[in-house]
Structure 1
Amino acid sequence: MKHRLIALCFLLIIILLRVFAQELNASEVKESDALSRFAQVALSSSDYRVTAGDIYTLQYAAGTVPVVYKIVVDSSYRINVSNLGIINVAGKSYQQLKTDVEGIVTNNYPLSGVQLVLTEPASFRVRVTGEVQNSQEIVTWALARLSGLLNIDNRTPYSSLRDVSVRSQNGQIRTYDLFKAQRFGDMTQDPYVRPGDVITVSHATRVVTVAGEVERPGIYQLLPGESLRELIGYYANGLSPIADPTRIELVRQVESAVDSGDKIYLTRDAIDSGYPLQHLDAIRIPSIIELIPVMFVEGAVRLTEEGDELSTATRLTVRFTVGENYASLVQRNQAWFSAISDTKNAYLIRGVARIPLNLNPMLYDSSYRSQYFVEHNDTLIIPFRQYFVTVSGAVHSPGRFPYIPDRSWDYYIGLAGGFLPERNSHKIVDIIDFAGNKLTKKDIITPETNITARANSGLYYFNQYAPVITTVLSVVSTFITITLLISQ
């Protein structure tokens, strides 16, 4: 038993080792694939610069002897070309290195079929600091650009992309404006990073928002000296065709007189004259469409074509063109109406006047023109079309009750308080629809149906006439008794 347990443990260890080896091989394959893809990108790019840590493979024929030589670039950037020469490759691109190396080998071994290939591109670290969530070192490679290292999750609301400085290993500092790179494709403002770079993100000092009728609404960081003119014309790319620059709204939060901010109204002159803007100012350019007059529609109308049932009244605000006829307004908005919209008995409230307005001809006759034209602040009322079901007979509260689709006869009996047991002990009803047809309890109840609960209990009639019968019998019995006494 002990030997079996030891053997089982060894077997388990062997299985675990195999699993570990497979996972290790899989990770190595993935890493190899990644390196291969990076190498392919570097080989296809004329921008790739030789970087400390690169591994190149040099192949050529020395006479009849094939030679394969690995070249590793160290931080000195001086490489030994198969003991045929030493060259300084600092600042050179891969294509320049390839030309130099192949030239040295060809000078020594003509017709050697020399070839230099980048096998493994180098990876290195750069540091990101300044106005970021966390200063950190990032592992990257020579074809990564500055913008790619400024992760949006690591930026703060005050991170400036207009003022990003990069200090290289030799201490040289350059400042870049990533907005120009992102908006205009100026890649001189979005350089490739290099080993040892320190990236510093500056604090944004003046950020403003522009919304409404401009071509590029958004949040922008202004540079010193830039004003409303630059915000609208340069950053927001100008006004839209339907902009109304006579009613520009500016909300100023910083140093405002009230907590909600000061609201300032500006005109086009403010754009032309370069109105100064402060940090966190918010600009809105309204639309001329906002000046189009409005009217209102209330009652049994809907916002979409989905579903016909409305439980409550709806109020719609509708913009219209001056001179529009009510017929054209109704025809282009047929989706407002459903089966419960009483379009025949609609009416218009204009000031204190109430004007009947039958919409049916407008809905179904495209050539029809109403005598009424839409006016500012009109209110069109669409009543609900209400159906009823009548319940009578041996129930507690006979009457007319609102029709509800897909309800059975006993629902309406319940609305009437239920049967009177002393008058209807077997729940017998007569159901007659609007057309006079007799329905069964299994049929669907339709609008304007009459439901009659029969008074069919024999006990009910007995109880109804029992007092009379009892009185008559009592009189008769008394009369007979008196007659017998007299006869004696």
Structure 2
Amino acid sequence: MFIFGAFAIDLQPVIISPLIEDSITEKIEKPISTSYIDQLGGVDSTSVVDLPLRLLRVFSTEDYPVISGDQYLLTYYENGKIVSYPITVPYNKVINLGVFGSIDASALNYLELKAKVEKQVLGTYQYSNPQFLITSTGVFPISVKGEVVKATQVDAWGLTRLSDVAYLALDNASTRKVVVKKADGTETSYDLYAALMEGDASQNPYLTAKDTVIFQPKTKQVEIYGEVARAGAYQIEDKEDLVAAITRYAKGFAPTANRTNVAITRNSISGIENLQINANSRAIYALSDGDKIFVKANEVEYPSISLEGALIPSKTDTNYIQGAYTSKYFYKFAPEETLIEMLETVSSLFSSYSDLKEATLIRNGEEMKLNLEDILYKNAELRLMRLEAGDKIYIPFSQMLVTVNGAVNKAGAFGYVPGRTLSYYLNQAGGLANNAKGMDKIKVYDKFGSQIASSEIIPSEAIIEVERDTFATNIAPIVTVVGLVGSIVSIALNVAYLITAATK
């Protein structure tokens, strides 16, 4: 399927490549997700991972905090034997090491605890080669409420971050203000967008036992489309205006952007407003919650090629010849578009009259033969040839024709059918016109220009000339003039008679 433009070059129909249409409409029509998770780039849908993966993450990080329920294994040599001592971290995080004493691990991470334990064992048994390894991690509940389906508790572990529970938030929750309330009642607000999309790790803390996560309602969200680096839905800060929002969140204008014509659709109390903003001006343009911003592209003039010859005409084509088709089209193509991409678009213009094997490409004044049939159906090498502005492709007629001219109702070129006589082609041409002299005045010429008898079988490429009755055509205006003169003379005589009668 192809698209006709609402304009023409030299009054010829124009076909717009679907590749151009796709590039234009994609940025306009491509849906933008407004979901909470997608605004944060997508996050895991669980707060606790499987134990083997948890252990791998503990071993690969420097700051795993010791939590209640962690399980460790202490091994060391005593009197030539290996001693294994399992340890579970109690609620108060004071670890009992038996003969080696105890350690308060409430403010320690795993590596710090490991170093302390092994040091205390060495203090008692100097050559005991102690090893202190974690074998399982503790799990604790945290509360989640606010803009969620319902207040709930979820399991967490030592490396659960705030973003790990973001999957519970509704789409109307704020990504910019998520409150974590500690067991002692202190509250801290965090910006998950800054954490996940801008890399600010301070805004994505580890959660601890008895934490409560409170998702606040969003305050200002806009959608940015069109000629920007990253289209999407974004929750912006109150102080950020149009240019700041495009710069920070959509990562700036694309090179093709028309900065002087930025469209904003806004829902206001009075109804929907459609605004046009010049983003190049120094004015600060404040945004409202729900604004849809579309950055338009600079108008691009795409190059074109011409297609001519045995093509099915458009409805407005003035080059239509009854029985066969000789048409011309212009085709606007996209950058890097190939010959096969163009041919697949216009293939519906080809008919049984189109000789695809004998097409000709004219480029920069030089002719090149093209077998379009092989290119379309046999994966020919030239199928990947790039189109160039000004290319001309001519498709000749494949079927032999017989031409009927003169005093017929529908003169034109008609498909040759072997064995047919004169009457067949006259019928194809709609029969003799009223001004035809008659069957005996019809002349038939073969393709070499030699006249042949009209009673013979009509050969291919023949031309049939039906002579017009020029006398009947020319006498009509003479008769009209004579009649007009007669009427004038008659009127003059009547007037003279009336004058004479009045004087008597």
TM-score of the aligned structures, taking structure 1 as reference length:
0.57
Matched, 1:118 2:140: no
User: Which residue in 2 is equivalent to 1:246?
Assistant: 260
Higher relative CO (CA 8 A, sep ≥ 6), structure 1 or 2? 2
- Superposed displacement of residue 118, structure 1: 0.5
Gaps of 5+ in 1: 1-32, 303-312, 322-327, 346-358, 376-381, 394-398, 402-431, 436-488
Opposite residue 265 of structure 2, the aligned amino acid is V
Matches within 5 A, 1:396-475: none
CA deviation vs aligned residue, 1:274-321 (integer Å, no higher than 9, x gap)? 200000001111111x3537999998599xxxxxxxxxx9x9984789
Opposite residue 248 of structure 2, the aligned amino acid is Y
Matches within 5 A, 1:100-111: 100-111=116-127
> What SS is found at the alignment partner of 1:42?
helix
1:163 pairs with one of 157, 169, 177: 177
User: Which residue in 1 is equivalent to 2:362?
Assistant: 365
**Structure-2 change in CA distance of 1:320 and 1:144 (3 Å):** closer
- Superposed displacement of residue 334, structure 1: 4.6
Matched, 1:78 2:94: yes
User: Which residue in 1 is equivalent to 2:78?
Assistant: 62
- Superposed displacement of residue 61, structure 1: 2.4
User: Which residue in 1 is equivalent to 2:206?
Assistant: 192
How far apart, CA to CA, are the structure 1 residues paired with 2:208 and 2:91?
12
User: Which residue in 1 is equivalent to 2:291?
Assistant: 281
> What SS is found at the alignment partner of 1:117?
strand
User: Which residue in 1 is equivalent to 2:279?
Assistant: 268
Paired residues, what number?
A: 327
How far apart, CA to CA, are the structure 2 residues paired with 1:316 and 1:91?
76
2:146 pairs with one of 115, 123, 130: 130
How far apart, CA to CA, are the structure 2 residues paired with 1:336 and 1:301?
15
> What SS is found at the alignment partner of 2:260?
helix
**Structure-2 change in CA distance of 1:35 and 1:331 (3 Å):** closer
In the alignment, is the contact (CA less than 8 A) between 2:192 and 2:203 conserved in 1?
A: yes
1:175 pairs with one of 170, 186, 189: 189
Instruction: Please identify runs of 4+ aligned residues in structure 1 that moved more than 6 A.
Output: 293-299, 328-332, 342-345, 359-362, 382-393
Q: What is the RMSD computed on CA atoms of the aligned residues?
A: 4.6
How far apart, CA to CA, are the structure 2 residues paired with 1:391 and 1:363?
28
1:338 pairs with one of 308, 330, 347: 347
Matched, 1:42 2:58: yes
In the alignment, is the contact (CA less than 8 A) between 2:353 and 2:397 conserved in 1?
A: no
How far apart, CA to CA, are the structure 2 residues paired with 1:34 and 1:47?
19
Matches within 5 A, 1:285-304: 285-288=295-298, 290-292=299-301, 300=312
In the alignment, is the contact (CA less than 8 A) between 2:220 and 2:237 conserved in 1?
A: yes
Opposite residue 276 of structure 2, the aligned amino acid is Y
- Superposed displacement of residue 129, structure 1: 1.2
- Select the structure that is richer in strand: 2
CA deviation vs aligned residue, 1:217-257 (integer Å, no higher than 9, x gap)? 111111121111210111111111111111110111232x3
**Structure-2 change in CA distance of 1:369 and 1:339 (3 Å):** farther
**Structure-2 change in CA distance of 1:177 and 1:34 (3 Å):** closer
Task: After superposing the two structures, state which structure 1 stretch, 55-64 or 68-77, moved more.
Answer: 55-64
> What SS is found at the alignment partner of 1:147?
helix
> What SS is found at the alignment partner of 1:138?
strand
In the alignment, is the contact (CA less than 8 A) between 1:301 and 1:336 conserved in 2?
A: no
> What SS is found at the alignment partner of 1:150?
helix
How far apart, CA to CA, are the structure 2 residues paired with 1:301 and 1:162?
59
How far apart, CA to CA, are the structure 2 residues paired with 1:338 and 1:330?
12
Identity %: 26
How far apart, CA to CA, are the structure 2 residues paired with 1:111 and 1:296?
87
**Structure-2 change in CA distance of 1:367 and 1:317 (3 Å):** closer
In the alignment, is the contact (CA less than 8 A) between 1:58 and 1:114 conserved in 2?
A: yes
Matched, 1:94 2:110: yes
In the alignment, is the contact (CA less than 8 A) between 2:161 and 2:207 conserved in 1?
A: yes
**Structure-2 change in CA distance of 1:389 and 1:50 (3 Å):** farther
> What SS is found at the alignment partner of 2:87?
strand
How far apart, CA to CA, are the structure 2 residues paired with 1:190 and 1:316?
58
- Superposed displacement of residue 273, structure 1: 2.6
Opposite residue 53 of structure 1, the aligned amino acid is G
How far apart, CA to CA, are the structure 2 residues paired with 1:211 and 1:383?
46
- Superposed displacement of residue 338, structure 1: 3.4
How far apart, CA to CA, are the structure 2 residues paired with 1:220 and 1:286?
19
Gaps of 5+ in 2: 1-48, 315-326, 368-388, 400-413, 421-425, 429-456, 461-504
User: Which residue in 1 is equivalent to 2:23?
Assistant: none
CA deviation vs aligned residue, 1:137-161 (integer Å, no higher than 9, x gap)? 111211122112111xx33221111
User: Which residue in 2 is equivalent to 1:219?
Assistant: 233
How far apart, CA to CA, are the structure 2 residues paired with 1:173 and 1:187?
18
**Structure-2 change in CA distance of 1:211 and 1:34 (3 Å):** closer
Opposite residue 361 of structure 2, the aligned amino acid is Y
**Structure-2 change in CA distance of 1:296 and 1:87 (3 Å):** same
User: Which residue in 1 is equivalent to 2:159?
Assistant: 143
TM-score of the aligned structures, taking structure 2 as reference length:
0.55
In the alignment, is the contact (CA less than 8 A) between 1:206 and 1:222 conserved in 2?
A: yes
Opposite residue 181 of structure 1, the aligned amino acid is A
**Structure-2 change in CA distance of 1:183 and 1:331 (3 Å):** closer
User: Which residue in 2 is equivalent to 1:423?
Assistant: none
**Structure-2 change in CA distance of 1:53 and 1:287 (3 Å):** same
